Amino acid sequence: MSVSVKFRTAKQFKSNDIVDALFDKGVSVVWISQEFPCLKFGTFEGAIRGVEINAEEDGYEVRVCSYASTADYELFAESVNVMSRLTDTIGLIDDDEDSPVINAFVQFNKQWIDDQHKSSSSVVSALVSHMGKTITMPGLYGDICIGPKILSQFGLLGTGSYSKSKFRKLQDFLCLSQEKAASCEGTGTRMILADPDEERGNDLSISMIVLKDNQIAEFDYISNADVLCLADMDKGDFVFIPMEHAWKILSNEFVKLDELQFYAEEKLTVSEFREMLDFAKKHQPSDLHKDAVYPGQGYDESQNTFILTWNPAFSSAKLDAHNEDVGQMLTQYFNWSVWDYEKARYGDRFYLVRCGQGNTGVVMSGVFVSNPYQSGDWSGRGRVTYYMDMYPNVILNPDMAPMITTLQLQKAIPSFDWTGGRSGRMLNPEEAKKMELLWADYIKENSDKVDGVTLNMVNGRCEPIE
């Protein structure tokens, strides 16, 4: 999705040659990387991703990446024009002989910029909606994390969703975020949490908030990494949580820079830090390096499977609210009571079964994204109740969508009572394997029916993109 222009030339340039040429054209830039083989730079205001000029064996490449700002695209046109003059050659779009750049300002004009915005916005929105996870892109000063919550905040979540005015507001927001990243201190480190399984090789980058000698190490914002570490060096207490769950432990003094990064409006106190650390322990997986396998995507013996039951007639979760969640599954926070909590842990899988009156059967599946924790009794009867946070990969409206009914479940797995009972009972391995096969067939047969109203599904984790 990036756009590049290649200049095939034997001429050699110093970085100052390009700096001076842009300056002579009246273009003021800030340089992030000032030496070849890669120059990276942007304007003082309005930059998100910037522009790169790369020295290659047969010449130079000017590149701008997707989700760039208008200012980035305009700087790209200026840079192509300057390189054409310096090299005295005609640039080729994506190094294609059939796509010469005769006039950069004509070819990379306002309409072209609008088209790039629309294309990249629609692609990112569709990917996030389909995968249900955050996309990370390198910005001019720091990472840019685009996920369901930030897209929903600006009304851009959904496949094919695009609004020029809404996208411009998001771009303005990201510009301000990049400006803060340029002038502030983040929590990112160069340290890596090594995967003990060398064959798996899933090493994780770390953002770290540190307490030492009863003082919090200075930082202005929580910067992106794979995991956030809260490190109490005085007590030797360390907690690692996936960055996507950082928002759950933060106080109101933190505001969004994007989906995964947060700016600290006030200094974090020692007592607040220790409260965060204790609260974060319920969000620490036993194996940080392993992604949970969602129901319907294969059986993993290391995951236990739990059946959560839901009777809308008695539950605090009502049918109308559940049906609204079908379209909002990527931005909603879900948790549920678990009876067999002593057997449950972060990464285990669940199926939510509607019971009682009406259309009964499986209405949701997913994985637990916390360890069990005690909280108030949802029924108001004062019982000791344990809950777990949930991340669904499938959710459906039981009155509209095709479903696996309780009658079908009872026939396929008669050893388990599907008509009600305690919520959060664990299936034995044989029952769990049968349930996985049933659900895999259901997903295969109904994945083309996803409309965000009757049925919704997501398909895993987004990887970083250019």
Whether 387 and 240 map to the same domain: the answer is no
Give percent of the chain above pLDDT 70: 96
Nearest to 140 by CA among 208, 23, 49: 49
How far is CA 137 from each of CA 50, 154, 162, 166, 260, rounded to the nearest angstrom? 12, 18, 19, 20, 12
Whether 171 and 262 map to the same domain: the answer is no
Whether 230 and 253 map to the same domain: the answer is yes
Whether 331 and 401 map to the same domain: the answer is yes
Q: Is the pLDDT of residue 388 over 80?
A: yes
Return d(Cα 266, Cα 163) in angstroms, integer: 34
Q: Is 421 helix (H, G, I), strand (E, B) or coil?
A: coil
Whether 165 and 128 map to the same domain: the answer is yes
Q: How far is CA 212 from the centre of its chain?
A: 31
Nearest to 269 by CA among 257, 277, 259: 277
Average pLDDT on 298-309 reads 95
Return d(Cα 303, Cα 293) in angstroms, integer: 8
Per the structure, how many domains does the chain have? Answer: 3
Average pLDDT on 242-266 reads 92
Average pLDDT on 225-241 reads 96
Average pLDDT on 220-238 reads 96
DSSP code at position 277: H
Q: Is 450 helix (H, G, I), strand (E, B) or coil?
A: coil
- Domain of 120 in residue numbering reads as 1-139+151-182
Phi-psi category of residue 408: left, alpha or beta, with phi > 0 → left and psi -120 to 50 → alpha:
alpha
**Please, what's the b/e burial string for 442-464 (b: 16 or more CB within 10 A of its CB; e: otherwise)?**
bbeebeeebebebbbbbeeebee
Whether 91 and 218 map to the same domain: the answer is no
Give the residue with greater pLDDT, 346 vs 464. 346
126 neighbors 160 (Cβ within 8 angstroms): yes
- Per the domain annotation, does 363 fall within a domain? yes
Q: Report the run of H or E that residue 63 belongs to, with start and end.
A: strand 59-64
Whether 74 and 158 map to the same domain: the answer is yes
- Per the domain annotation, does 297 fall within a domain? no
Q: Dihedral of CA 322/392/355/311: which sign?
A: negative
Average pLDDT on 121-148 reads 92
Q: How far is CA 404 from the centre of its chain?
A: 30
Average pLDDT on 415-436 reads 93
